Amino acid sequence: MDAEVLVVGAGPAGLAVAACLKDWGVDALVVDRSRGAGDSWRGRYDRLHLHTPRIQSALPGLRISETSGRWVAKDDMAGYVRRYARYHGIAPLFGTGVHRVDRDGRGWRADSDAGELTARQVVIATGYSNSPVPPRWPGLDGFRGEVLHAAEYRSAAPFVGRDVLVVGAGNTGAEIAADLAEQGAATIRVSVRTPPNIVPRQIGPVPTTMLAVAMEYSPSWLVDPLNRLLQRMILGDLTRYGMPAAGAGVVAQARATGITPTIDVGLVAALRSRRVVPVAAVDRFEARDVVLVDGTRFAPDAVIAATGYTTGLDPMLGHLGVLDDNGRPVVRGRRQLPHARGMRFVGLTNPLKGQLFQIKLDARSTARAIARDLQR
């Protein structure tokens, strides 16, 4: 199959690029390994609502319905993504995973489940949170409790009355811990290796991720003291409940490590009520026990590893010299590398202002750049 533009991935990023390309009169071939638009959202845990407000989460050219409220539920988001594809007349080829992309003259060739796909331009939109990072602690194989990655977590129901360790206090780990506390797990510990910057979801009427739009380009020495003050005033001193303080401010931490703040959607209340107890990082497993780096040991019934994701791009693109050491593309949006002209990436960064908002911006500029390249 040959196309002018191949878009790999029919999540929000791929669909947004395809929709913007239509504005330039370009019909892209969009392929996706899943079964339908919105699948990446449908499969997430039940409690999930967007952390970015509705108006900051919409893709180019179609609003999210007001009936979804300010904080859109994950199934409403899945419905929106499906509607978005229909609205823009995009019919992705589902069930079509792309396994490898190579140069093909001045264009690209993709090895896919539908055979060989060729195109002059290719957009990689396979998702920042593509592949769960499996936990790899020493002794885990011999652990007799249940172990799952946060990507497999759907609800607290299987954990009611049980002793659960959540590993990781990023956005996913924090929300799962809150969910477990609200739904009746007996004991909930959250293991913290990198102390998070916990921030409220909104400050007064203003969503935090909207303030982040301005912060993204501000010097950290200027905005982080203010952030710290607001965190203290609104959430209080969380070290009183055992949560270690972050080593750097919100913006400094995001720039140095790529770790965005943990938006509070229930963790702080659970810490205050002592339903969730922070503990040190996991060192190893020994039979029924988890052993922490501070030597503490206990025997949870279940361990939920909120240990993050990778882009999973290495097998597909690793040979092209377009990824950094973490497997993330070194350029994004309209930019391209001199040795990989005609290959662009959308949705593969994690900015403070939220990925969906960045996708909206990058989809437009990427489509414009592609349309110009095709005219040359």
Ligand X SMILES: Cc1cc2nc3c(=O)[nH]c(=O)nc-3n(C[C@H](O)[C@H](O)[C@H](O)COP(=O)(O)OP(=O)(O)OC[C@H]3O[C@@H](n4cnc5c(N)ncnc54)[C@H](O)[C@@H]3O)c2cc1C
Residues lying near ligand X in the complex (CB under 6 A) are found at 8-14, 31-34, 39-40, 44, 48, 50-52, 57, 97-98, 125-127, 129-130, 172, 316, 347, 354-357
Q: What angle do CA 151, 148, 79 make, to 5 degrees?
A: 25
> Across the beta sheet with 276-279, what order do the strands follow?
146-149, 302-305, 163-167, 187-191, 276-279
Pair 272, 243: CB distance under 8 Å: no
Q: How far is the CB of 170 from ligand X (least distance, A)?
A: 10
Considering the complex, what minimum distance in angstroms separates the CB of residue 288 from ligand X?
A: 30
Closer of 117 and 279 to ligand X (Cβ): 117
- Minimum separation from the CB atom of position 370 to ligand X (A): 17
- Smaller CB distance to ligand X: residue 127 or 195? 127
**Calpha distance 313→6 (Å, rounded):** 16
Question: Which residues does 323 contact at the CB level (< 8 Å), separation at least 6?
Answer: 311, 313, 314, 317, 329, 330
DSSP letters along 175-189, please?
HHHHHHHHHT-SEEE
Given the complex with ligand X, which of 201 and 288 has the nearer CB atom? 201
Spatial distance between the Cα atoms of 46 and 155, rounded to a whole number of angstroms: 6
Min dist. Cβ of residue 125 to ligand X (A): 5
3 state DSSP class of 212 = helix
The residue among 154 and 274 lying less far from ligand X, judged by its C-beta, is 154
- Beta-bridged to residue 263, according to DSSP, are 199
CB of residue 320 to ligand X, shortest distance in Å: 14
Nearer to ligand X, 12 or 168 (CB): 12
Distance CA 354, CA 215 (A): 12
Contact (Cβ atoms closer than 8 angstroms) between residue 347 and residue 354: no
> Which of 33/272 has CB closer to ligand X?
33
User: Minimum Å distance from CB 98 to ligand X?
Assistant: 4
In the complex, residue closest to ligand X by CB: 11
